[in-house]
């Protein structure tokens, strides 16, 4: 009988402590959680107030465990660029930049030339440290096509990535050699 009364009192006390910790925000354990590094998820930076038909290309360089440049550039038909510099780029944060409309047209022409929409949606490996390049192209009259390039990238796609980096890395403040 005495053991049952003791268990009942202990249960009520623990319940009361748990409620107090929940309402005051106090930690329930003395051991802090160990942070775990996870590769960031890709996030679209397409502004909400633009029509999807205005977006022609999204170019994203993702982070790695080192100092890989990470940014996203959403390019619109009129040359406007919605840019977000994430990590290891001189220009960080959200910016609105611009490219000449002829450059935007050339980017789409190059996508047509390499037949971008026929590329596989993913070129990856089992290595978690590799940075990725994610390209989404909206060619007029065709469905949007997204390609994640990380490893085993075919030569035409490698050339297109280098071509886009040559036009977009300077917006991020990067030299051509990164």
For the chain, domains (ranges, CATH) are: 58-169 (3.30.1560.10)
Do 67 and 88 form a contact (C-beta atoms < 8 A)? yes
Which of 105, 116, 88 minimizes the C-alpha distance to 172? Answer: 88
pLDDT, residue 177, reads 57
pLDDT, residue 17, reads 45
Please give the Cα distance from 164 to 149 (Å, whole number): 13
pLDDT, residue 138, reads 95
pTM of the model: 0.71
What DSSP character marks residue 115?
T
pLDDT, residue 137, reads 97
Which of 86, 72, 16 minimizes the C-alpha distance to 8? Answer: 16
**What are the 10-residue block averages of pLDDT along the chain, 178 residues in total?**
46 45 44 43 43 83 94 97 97 96 97 98 91 95 95 97 97 78
Which of 115, 114, 99, 97 minimizes the C-alpha distance to 159? Answer: 114
Please give the Cα distance from 114 to 156 (Å, whole number): 6
């Amino acid at each position: 009988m005495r053991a049952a009364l003791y268990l009942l009192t202990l249960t009520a006390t623990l319940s009361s402590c748990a409620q107090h910790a929940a309402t005051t925000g106090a930690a329930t354990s003395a051991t802090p959680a160990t942070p775990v590094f996870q590769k960031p998820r890709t996030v679209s930076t397409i502004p909400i107030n633009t029509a999807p038909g205005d977006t022609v290309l999204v170019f994203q360089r993702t982070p790695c465990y080192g100092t890989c440049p990470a940014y996203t550039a959403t390019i619109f038909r009129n040359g406007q660029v919605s840019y977000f510099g994430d990590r290891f780029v001189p220009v960080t944060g959200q910016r609105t930049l611009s490219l000449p409309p002829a450059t935007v047209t050339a980017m789409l022409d190059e996508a047509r030339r390499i037949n971008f929409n026929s590329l596989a949606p993913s070129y990856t490996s089992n290595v978690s440290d590799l940075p990725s390049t994610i390209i989404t192209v909206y060619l007029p009259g065709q469905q949007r096509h997204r390609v994640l390039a990380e490893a085993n990238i075919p030569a035409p796609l490698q050339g297109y990535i280098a071509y886009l980096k040559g036009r977009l890395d300077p917006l991020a403040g990067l030299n051509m050699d990164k």
